Structure 1
Amino acid sequence: MSTIVVVYEVDGPDLSVRRVHAAPTAPGQTSVPGPRTLCGRDTFAMQAAAWTPAAEPGATWYPPRHADLLCAACADAV
């Protein structure tokens, strides 16, 4: 798997997580998202998650507590 960053699409003043996306890392970076998610959305207003996708077989790329908020297009692309 290429290096990705998990980013949150947030909503409202309390910044609650609305959707979980995956984005490739920015050039030369290991934890900074690039400008677009794997589904093509702009990452500018999104927040990078503290979650680091595990490299172990069978591990999820997303935080398990947000499994019900995954962007289907990002999940397919990963």
Structure 2
Amino acid sequence: MGEIVVVYEVDRVAATRISRGEPGEVRPVRRVHAAPTAPGSPTATGPRTLCGKDTFAMERTGRKPSENPGTPWYPEEHASAVCPDCDAVMEI
């Protein structure tokens, strides 16, 4: 397996206002998953997360767990949304 990246499973777009009062889009994080990169392309996310979900509609975070040894593989601000199945695989 190649590099692992972190991806967000997000809710549908919810219209909201950004800081200047202009309309914007917010996509609340539903679940945080780990996924391998695509074979032969370290900049592309593979087709499935470690728990087997399709990554097509997920957002890549740019976080690579191997770049931050000694810290959780997921962003701390989303610790409550971590996929338990991906987390179990990452602990191995």
> TM-score category by the smaller chain?
0.7 to 0.9
- 1:9 aligned counterpart, secondary structure: strand
Higher alpha-carbon Rg: 2
Match of 1:41 among 34, 53, 57: 53
Q: Is the 8 A contact 1:34 1:43 kept in 2?
A: yes
**Are residues 1:32 and 2:44 paired?**
yes
Name stretches of at least 5 consecutive residues in structure 1 with no aligned partner.
Answer: none
Relative to the length of structure 2, the TM-score reads 0.75
Quick check: which one's strand share is greater? Answer: 2
How big is each residue's C-alpha offset from its partner over 1:7-63, in whole Å with a ceiling of 9 and x where there is no partner? 00000212111100000110112232100000000000101013232352x221111
Name stretches of at least 5 consecutive residues in structure 2 with no aligned partner.
Answer: 14-25
- 1:75 aligned counterpart, secondary structure: helix
Identical-pair percentage: 55
The match for 1:10 is 10
- 1:25 aligned counterpart, secondary structure: strand
Question: For residues 34 and 88 of structure 2, what CA distance do their matches in structure 1 show?
Answer: 10
**Bigger shift: 25-34 or 8-17?**
25-34
- Which aligned segments of 4 or more residues in structure 1 are displaced greater than 3 angstroms? none
Aligned residues: 77
- Taking only aligned residues, the RMSD between alpha carbons, in angstroms, comes to 1.7
Question: For residues 31 and 66 of structure 1, what CA distance do their matches in structure 2 show?
Answer: 23
